[in-house]
Amino acid sequence: MLEALTGTGLATAAGLNAYVPLLVIGLLGRWTDLVDPPVGWEWLSNEWVLVVLGVLLLLEVVADKIPGVDSVNDVVQTVVRPAAGGIAFGAGSTSQTAVVSDPGAFVESGRWVPVVIGIVLALVVHAAKATARPVLNAATLGMGAPLASTAEDATSVGLSFAAILAPVLVLLLLVGLGFVWWRLRRRRAARARTGVEADGAPPPLVG
């Protein structure tokens, strides 16, 4: 159960920001005892890999906060984020972490299973993010992009650390994300209904 929550948290985080969970796994695996990457995933802790991930993260953080550029970035990330989600789920759920001491049972059916699960989870989150951002930009004349991006980055960081240090918190964070998404959907639907009613209203009587 904890292995699945760890992988889910990391893959969801990758759907928001591809590089955050990979950096968290790599940095903790290299300089702490909190993560022990399994065989085949040790490269995440390589110093050159960490440098490249850091540069890519910086580019992602800047691009995602510029209206218009963020949508172009989302198109590029359609491949990157699901791939990162697969790597993060595969590496994280099969690692020995601070709270997971026997991850082998989770992957008895094959090492490819966690990777596929991670790809799907990250793709779903990425699709929701990429769909909502143009709507937000249009509604706020672009001013909402930096705030939304910062919130997404913070959520990605929080999910990544929670997935490794306290996987049970992942459930609470995911419920919170689901609630926020549901409220935004309801608000958009209400605005759409209001617009239709306004367009269909009879003209005012004169005289």
Give me 132's structure tokens: 């909502």
Instruction: List, as one string, the DSSP characters of 62-104.
Output: HHTTSTTHHHHHHHHHHHHHHHHHHHHHHHHHTSEESS-S-GG
Q: Residue length, the chain?
A: 207
CA 128 from centre of chain: 10
Whole-structure pTM value: 0.78
Return per-residue pLDDT of the chain as tens, 207 residues: 667 788 888 999 999 999 999 999 999 989 988 888 777 788 889 999 999 999 999 999 999 999 999 999 999 999 999 999 998 988 877 665 655 555 555 555 566 778 888 999 999 999 999 998 998 899 899 899 999 999 999 999 999 998 888 877 777 777 776 776 677 667 666 666 665 555 555 555 444
**Tokens linked to 15:** 């759907």
**What is the C-alpha separation between 40 and 17, in angstroms, rounded?**
23
Considering only CA atoms, which of 137, 169, 139, 141 is closest in space to residue 155? 169
